[in-house]
Amino acid sequence: RIPIIIDTDPGQDDALAILLALSAGLALDIAGITTVAGNVGVAQTTVNALRVCQLAGRPDVPVHAGCAQPILRPLHTAEFMCGADGLAGMDIPAPRRPAQPSHAVPFLIDCIRGSGSGMTICALGPLTNIALALLQAPDIKDRIERLVIMGGARDLGNMTAAAEFNFFVDPHAAAVVFNAGLPITLFPLNATYQAVATPARLASFAAKGPVGTAILSMLRRERPGGAALGGDGGHPMHDACVIAYLLWPTLFEGRDCHVTIETAEGPTVGRSTIDWWGRGGQPANAHVVGSLDADAMFARIAASVRVLDEM
Ligand code: BDR
Ligand code: CA
């Protein structure tokens, strides 16, 4: 089993990612979930992570609340996309258990240091917690087996013309992470906009229990902004790609590239410059996914999450 920590700002696509990870207990061992401000504020992303674990029958998974603000910039959130509580369309109960008392950053440091064979980190939101952990405890680098990130874009952004949401919210954190010399796999928007939950792909999901029902109603909800915000034909499940990649790596193709993050204020703040063609001659600092088999991915996600309603 691959030991993982999920750093997240749920968010509907984060919720699907967490449910997928929880459903794959034979392959993935979730050491904990850390939350960060992003889609909504951190108090709400923490409640949402707890709600999702409870929905899956796993209220025992430790959830640690993390940073409420990006490192330098004021927080931008995305209620316009994910609703006031971050999980519009899911209609799931409030959590009965609280989050853990310790903050996400010391938890990340201790948990990574204590991992015998190395920890895989799944980064589904702004990279604030992870950057702070790396700055406070640079030694953890040696114990990070891989950091799989959803963020950035090779072409256009979804938050501004230049920037994808997660990197726009905390570009300084993203810059710290990409300069840290870690084994990184990056899922930019070019890849994740291929993972759209179209009606045909939804056909393999079953509403036979609370998990399937919540997923289907979330994926079928009306799309604010419509195709204007990408994902023509349905909701893109950006973050679920990260977990699917750990489970079924052969569904994804990419290449090693040099990636830099724009931190200067202005129209391109948060932009990721991904040297896909290797024009700059700088050494690669990430494996960047370019394409995926979305039909197979959705069919496998549907089959996997179904077990949560059968347990
Ligand atoms: C990313 O931004 C968030 O709104 C999603 O959860 C995803 O992590 C896509 O740009
Ligand atoms: Ca997210």
Token pair for residue 198?
């179209």
Q: Separation of 6 CA from ligand 2 center, angstroms?
A: 11
pLDDT at 116: 85
Number of neighbouring beta carbons within 10 Å of residue 208: 11
Closest atom, ligand 1, to C-alpha of 158:
10
pLDDT in tens, the chain (311 residues): 999 999 999 999 999 999 999 999 999 999 999 999 999 999 999 999 999 999 999 999 999 999 999 999 999 999 998 999 999 999 999 999 999 999 999 999 999 999 988 999 999 999 999 999 999 999 999 999 999 999 999 999 999 999 999 999 999 999 999 999 999 999 999 999 999 999 999 999 988 999 999 999 999 988 776 565 566 688 999 999 999 999 999 999 999 999 999 999 999 999 999 999 999 999 999 999 999 999 999 999 999 999 999 98
Rounded CA-CA distance 46/182 in Å is 27
Q: Separation of 81 CA from ligand 2 center, angstroms?
A: 12
Rounded CA-CA distance 295/154 in Å is 23
* Helix/strand/coil for 162: coil
User: Which of 165, 192, 241, 271 to mutate for ligand 1's pocket (most ligand atoms within 8 Å of CB)?
Assistant: 165
Q: Using CA of residue 173, residue 175, residue 179, residue 182, what is the dihedral sign?
A: positive
Q: Which residues are catalytic?
A: 238
Contacts of 68 (CB under 8 A, 6+ apart): 37, 41, 42, 43, 75
Q: Nearest residue CA, atom 2 of ligand 1?
A: 165
pLDDT at 232: 67
pLDDT at 24: 98
Closest atom, ligand 1, to C-alpha of 164:
10
User: Which of 167, 223, 238 to mutate for ligand 1's pocket (most ligand atoms within 8 Å of CB)?
Assistant: 238
CA dihedral 244, 250, 254, 260 (to 10 degrees): 40
Buried b (16+ CB within 10 A) or exposed e, 92-127: beebeeebbeebbbebbbebbeebeeebbbbbbbbb
Contacts of 142 (CB under 8 A, 6+ apart): none
Least distant ligand from the CA of 192: 1
Global ipTM: 0.99
pLDDT at 224: 72
Q: Separation of 208 CA from ligand 2 center, angstroms?
A: 26
Contacts of 293 (CB under 8 A, 6+ apart): 251, 252
